[in-house]
Chains A and B, each alone.
Chain A
Amino acid sequence: MISFRSTEEELTFIQVAKNLAKEKIRPIARLSEEEGMVNEAFIQKMSELGLLSMDVPESWGGLQLPLISQVQILQALSYGDLGVIQGLRGLGDFGNLLSLLADNPILTSYKEQLLEHGKTVALVDIEHEEQNIKLTEQGNFYVVNGTSHPVRFAKFADFVVVAGNNSEGQTVILWLDSNNGNQWDVEEGDYRLGLLCSGLASLTFNNLQVSKDHVLISGEKATEIMAKARVRNRILQAAKEVGLMEAALEYATEYTANRKAFGQEIAKFQGVSFRIADMAIETKIANHLVWSAALKADEDESSADHYSLRALYRAHRSLRFVTDSAVQLLGGHGYVQEFPVEKWMRDAQAQTMLYGRERDLLIQYGEHILAEGIEVLNL
């Protein structure tokens, strides 16, 4: 049955998240960006509320919420500020893998450290884009060599997960612990665009020898798990983008309802009001496509991959349009840092650069359409 109604439980979570967004997240956004990190006390609070363990399996004491619930809550949180949400140190993008590897003995041995706030994991997904990193098998070791693209939490990472193909084309997922002999260099770089409190940096591995004891999983199962983790990550990232769009839309609507020019509120000019209407349409479309993908992923359907590509592509595209429009509608005020929209536009652009090239996502899912036997359009 077609329905757009959240469950009571979801509504309760969403309300908590929305209140946090307005009262706690939004006020710390600028300072967090200036300091390059979100303050520890706030992260602790988020952890206590369970909002950092939505994806964590129940066997680990997490909430293990279905994706359809997670996306709604993330939307509500990101409505506060995407930069802060992306700066909440902890499992980060690795959370998607953890949810699929809960029984893994290596991870289980790190359970206490991981669940303690402040222990942070950076994920380097080599296959995600062409990166200058190689994984080579040498006897009882894997050798990791090269420099990653910038990833979230690289500056803060206590642990690094490297996922990629070895020279034989087999997927390998490695667990690196800096306290256990695994070293990496953090290439700090010059980051100015956005998501500046998420610890963006490249990680360099200088022929790092990693014992096979640190292999979380390899082979066909690893390929399958990475594919699922990517699907989940796309959907969750897209959900955060929807939250930011909602913030930008609301802010621009209120501003234009009050700002006067030529003797009237600028909302009364159709060039302004029609743009607001388009922003609302794009936000809603992205929202629907995210929900659609989340529902498929929760059912573990093969089409979830297709739907996740579509959701993230459209979220990126709509996000750029909505945040750019918000700056445009605020005019000069939109450009200066006294108002939040310029930060949101910068964060938005950084977000779309970190998580898949738009055109590439689109073509990947276009190739799904052209392949034989793929169900499209819910026929």
Chain B
Amino acid sequence: MISFELSEQQKQIKEMTHWFAENEIRPIAMEADRLGKVPDEWLDNVNKMGIHLNTSSFGGGEKKSSSSKKKRENEGNRMGVIATEEMAWGDPAVALSLPGAGLGGPPIQSSGTPEQKERFLSIFTKDEPKWGAYALTEPEAGSDASAVQTTAKKVDGGYILNGQKIFITNGGRASWVVAFATVDRSLGRAGQRAFVVEKGTNGFSCSKLSKKMGLRANETAELLFEDCFVPDENLLGGEQLYKVDQSKPSGFQVAMKTFDSTRPIVAAMAIGIARAAYEYTLDIVKKEFPRQGRSYFLAAELLAEAEQDIEAARLLTWEAAWKADLGIPNAKEAAMCKAYAGQMSLDVCSKCLELLGPVGLNGHLVEKLYRDVKVFDIFEGTNQVQHLVIARRLYEPYGIRV
């Protein structure tokens, strides 16, 4: 039956992550933004606590349990979006900087061989903070992911990679990155492969860290591949994954597939940011605004619009996550929630800044959240790309490819 009530377990996850966000993340938010990084000591501490950012809840459709027990419904995706909303509520830049596989996790989970999953995902222990990363974007290939120009030339024992990646979250500090390259540009998408390139590999370097409008505490790197040798065993999924076969995905499809599970997570982050701005502003309005007159009605109107936009985005996100949990195709819903959350979250921050007025410029969290949240309508597929995905699904029954 239809229900929007959290189960006991979901409530617990929400409460726990909220506690962590409120007591550990939020207190360092403004300082981390000022410094342009999350303090190492803090990262070390949270790593010892075993706290990682869950950027995927990729559970639907995986190997079936052979147990004869009644199979419980998978809840991983719903848990993921609930927890992530709270983490981002604390602070999005700090949340994205948490140790763990990060955005590199989903492709390995979904397409790696059992040996690769073990080798790359088992490094995230409490001993020291480590990161993974996802390297797709290039100077000439952003929304058009099929235009990747980094080349992978087959040689004895592996591949030689040449090219450049930009806008890579945690790219400089990552122990490994999942990098997308093409073995033959003339094959287009069919020529793309995903490689796990480990830090310290000859010919692999981080050339620059970008200064940004927001998410300043989170590392955004440019990566360079200069005759970088990557062994065969680091080709994600192995050769058999890419054999020319309609039923098997290309590297391009490996890249695209993960979006159906990461988009709800990114949407959840945008929702957490919007909610943080809204609650912060609501608190000030309740304490400092008059209880009648023009400012009062202005505040009522703006906050009401903000609140229902946040809830609207959240329910879209929950639907996408619910479908993923049940193994139902959710590309349309994943795109919807990302498009809406990305757009509304900036709008909510903007409304909050309107209410705060000039005072909001000086040392208040909301202006930072405004700067942070803009990129959520851009990365993981721009608002326009999301619209394209939605439109494609809507027109599919009519045989039109838009």
Q: Is the CB of B3 within 8 A of A2?
A: yes
Chain A contacts for B336, CB-based, 8 A: 277, 280-281, 284
Q: B305 is contacted by which of A5, A362, A376 (Cβ under 8 Å)?
A: A362
| B322 at interface by CB-CB < 8 Å | yes
Q: How far is the CB of B14 from chain A (nearest CB, A)?
A: 9
**Nearest CB in chain A to that of B396: its residue:** A257
Q: How far is the CA of A284 from the CA of B286 in the complex (A)?
A: 32
Total residue contacts A-B, CB cutoff 8 A = 159
Q: Which residues of A contact B340 (CB under 8 A)?
A: 281, 285
List CB contacts (< 8 Å) of A315-354 with chain B: none
Of B307, B390, B400, which is within 8 A of A265 by CB? B400
- Contact count band on A: 35 or more
Q: Is the CB of B300 within 8 A of A5?
A: no
Q: Does B308 sit at the interface, judged by CB under 8 A?
A: yes
- Looking across the interface, which residue of chain B has its beta carbon closest to that of A291? B2
The answer to whether B395 and A273 touch across the interface, beta carbons within 8 angstroms, is yes
A270 touches B398 (CB 8 A): no
A371 to chain B: closest residue by CB: B286
Q: Determine if B300 and A370 form an interchain contact, defined as CB atoms under 8 angstroms apart.
A: yes
Whether A3 touches B308, Cβ cut-off 8 Å, given contacts A289-B315, A367-B300, is no
Which stretch (B5-13, B147-155, B198-206) binds chain A? B5-13
Q: When the two chains form their complex, are residues A376 and B307 in contact, meaning their CB atoms are under 8 A apart? A: yes
A31 at interface (Cβ–Cβ under 8 A)? no
Also in contact, A3 and B1, with CB within 8 A (given A363-B301, A370-B300): yes
* A183 vs B369: C-alpha distance when bound (angstroms): 62
Contact residues in B for A278 (Cβ distance below 8 Å): 387
Interface assignment of A192: CB less than 8 Å from any CB of chain B: no
- Could you tell me if A6 and B2 are in contact, using CB atoms closer than 8 angstroms? yes
Name the one of A1, A274, A369, A370 contacting B5, with C-beta atoms under 8 angstroms: A1
B311 at the interface (CB under 8 A from A): yes
| Residue B318 interfacial (CB < 8 Å) | yes
Is B339 on the interface with A (CB-CB < 8 A)?
yes
With a CB–CB cut-off of 8 A, which chain A residues contact B49?
A: none
Are B296 and A289 within 8 A (Cβ)? no
Verify A363–B322 contact, CB threshold 8 A. no
The answer, yes or no, to whether B391 is at the interface (CB within 8 Å) is yes
Does B30 have its Cβ within 8 Å of any Cβ on chain A? no
Q: Which of A2, A68, A284, A285 has the most CB of B within 10 A?
A: A2
Contacts of B299 in A (CB 8 A): 366, 370
- Contact surface of A with B, Cβ cutoff 8 Å: 1-7, 10, 68, 253-254, 257-258, 265, 267-268, 270, 273-274, 276-278, 280-281, 284-285, 288-289, 291-292, 295, 310, 313-314, 359, 362-363, 365-367, 369-370, 372, 376-378
* 21 A-B pairs (CB sep. < 8 Å): A1-B10, A2-B10, A3-B2, A68-B2, A265-B400, A267-B398, A274-B387, A276-B391, A277-B387, A285-B315, A288-B315, A295-B5, A314-B308, A314-B312, A363-B297, A363-B300, A370-B285, A370-B286, A370-B299, A377-B310, A378-B311
Query: Knowing that A1-B6, A3-B1, A284-B316 are A-B contacts, what are 17 other residue pairs whose CB atoms are under 8 Å apart, sorted by A's residue number?
Result: A2-B321, A4-B323, A5-B2, A253-B398, A257-B398, A267-B400, A277-B336, A278-B387, A281-B340, A314-B308, A362-B300, A362-B304, A363-B297, A366-B299, A369-B300, A370-B286, A372-B286
